[in-house]
Amino acid sequence: MSEPWLYPTVLLCIYGFFSSHRPLEAFLMPFLMGPDKNLTETEVVSEIYPLWTYSYLALLFPVFLATDYLRYKPVIILQAASYVVTYALLVKAQGLQAMQIVEVFFGLATATEIAYYSYIYSVVEPSHYQMVTGFCRSVTLLGSAMGSLLGQILFSVADIALFYLCVITLVSFCIAFVAPWFLPMPSKSLFFHQSESSSQDEAVLETVNTSPLIEKPEDPESNKQPNANEKTTLKSNTSSSGLLDVLKMLWTDFLQCYSSSTLLAWSVWWALSTCGYLQVINYAQALWEDILTSKNYDIYNGYVETISTLLGAFAAFVVGYVKVSWAVWGELALCIFTVVIAVCVYLMYAVRNIWVCYTSYIIFRAVYMLLITIATYQIAANLSMKRYALVFGVNTFIALSLQMLLTVIVVDSAGLHLEISIQFLIYASYFAAVAVIFFIAGLYKLFRSRTSGGQNELSSAEA
């Protein structure tokens, strides 16, 4: 091909589409509780689903390092294999322990997702980063929406049994499994294999800083350019680095990144909200099944997932053209939108009506995807690709750690083991607490800016 970036991008998009095309996923809870698996709600919610959270958290950091050390491609193949094993077990295996093993493999597949989004940066020129990232993210959203829509049509209109939706999903993963074998092997990576990485990182920094998608923070701390230490880090180690060197570099970068108050604020929201978001989407189907059982009524989970995915993608796209001084109003904006999220989750608990639940879920996902897009660009605005990968990994690790605590306390049979409806009351209260935190932070920032502004005027008058 005339364009060297096109071949790996096309293969990665093929993989992303088919690995996200999952007709069964919107009906996983009814499938597990139906005649094919014959599990109870308590077994699914309290003994099976928590295994995904625990395995994802346990594997995240080792996979993060292994992905970079192995240079992405083997880990993408591992992810594809994990998805195939997950759905092969769903098709053939029976019993509680078998489904727990399914969740462990699914946790491995989720943890290795970082390889999919990191690979492309090691094989294309920095000038194409923004474009290929858009392709890869868009095609996964398209695959997810089309999978949910196909699942709903086959289930409701064609009256296809959920077992065959599982088989179709397995076929999608088998097709996806083929694509990564043909990906070119990268010669470099962000941390362990760093030849040519300095030019890559600096070009990425320039690309992100000049991006028109989101207004950059105006806070002086967040606007600072890479200092001498960062540039030295980027330009040193032109050959492979050892594990100890990489860990030292990660720790140094971690301290420098989170010394920015703006980055810290957006990262705190990212971690706290992602924890609650994952918890809600993990157990939403259980709540819907509790309100309106699929054994006796028609359900429309697939339509809901399709609409929420497309609406969330549209909201994330539109926000790129909204000009707001996030450095000044960021915390209060996060507070207001988090209140909306809390209200949506509370309505899912309080109003025992499936249509209210569906609508609240759609708004919940759309608002979260809008805010996480803003947070992503605010965090990435002045970071090199290397530091962005670190911050993304740390934020995700904190979110999963909090989710594990929430799961152990609220969901797991070893904890309080609350009813599913009461769990959503807890999640609504959790988001309300997050909103209060950012309301206080926003008022404090406004008070500081007003005070500093008044002192500057007084100093000018005296001069």
* CATH number of the structural domain 1-178: 1.20.1250.20
Residue 166 tokens, joined: 């599982």
Give the pLDDT of residue 175.
Answer: 96
pLDDT tens digit sequence for 251-260:
888 888 888 7
Stretch 267-295: mean pLDDT, rounded? 92
Cβ atoms of 170 and 88 within 8 Å: the answer is yes
C-alpha–C-alpha distance, residues 240 and 192, integer Å: 5
Mean pLDDT for the stretch of residues 324-330: 70
For the segment 116-132, the average pLDDT, to the nearest whole number, is 77
* pLDDT, mean over the chain: 83
Q: Which residue has the higher pLDDT, 429 or 379?
A: 429
Name the band, by pLDDT with cuts 50, 70 and 90, for residue 146. very high
In this predicted model, what pLDDT tens digit does every residue of 30-69 receive, in sequence order?
Answer: 999 999 999 999 999 999 999 999 999 999 989 988 888 8
297 pLDDT band (50/70/90 cuts)? confident
Per the DSSP assignment, residues forming a β-bridge with 240 are 193
Decide: 391 and 312 in contact? Cβ < 8 Å: no
- Would the pLDDT of 205 be above 60? no
**253-455: what fold?**
Growth Hormone; Chain: A; (1.20.1250)
pLDDT, tens digit (0-9, with 9 covering 90-100), for 349-369 = 999 899 999 999 999 999 998
What are the CA-CA distances from residue 422 to residues 72, 194, 349, 417, 436 (Å)?
41, 50, 7, 10, 21
Query: With bands split at pLDDT 50, 70 and 90, how would you rate the model's confidence at 194?
Result: low
Q: Which residues contact 447 (CB under 8 A, 6 or more apart)?
A: none
Q: What is the pTM of this model?
A: 0.83
- Token duo for residue 178: 């083929």
Same fold, 1-178 and 253-455: yes
Where does the pLDDT of residue 211 fall: very low under 50, low under 70, confident under 90, or very high at 90 and above? Answer: very low
Percentage, residues of the chain above pLDDT 70: 85
* Distance between CA atoms of residues 376 and 148, nearest Å: 26
Domain residue extents for the chain = 1-178, 253-455
Q: How much is the pLDDT for 126?
A: 73
| Contact (Cβ atoms closer than 8 angstroms) between residue 137 and residue 20 | no
25 band by pLDDT with thresholds 50, 70 and 90: very high
- The percent of residues in the chain predicted with pLDDT above 90, rounded, is 51
pLDDT classification of 2: cutoffs 50, 70, 90 = low
Question: Which one, of 60, 79, 48, lies nearest residue 173 by Cα?
Answer: 79
Query: pLDDT-based confidence at 213, cuts 50/70/90?
Result: very low
- Residue 165 pLDDT more than 70? yes
- Distance (Å, whole) CA 414 – CA 51: 13
* Residue 233 predicted with pLDDT over 70: no
Query: What is the per-residue pLDDT for 355?
Result: 95
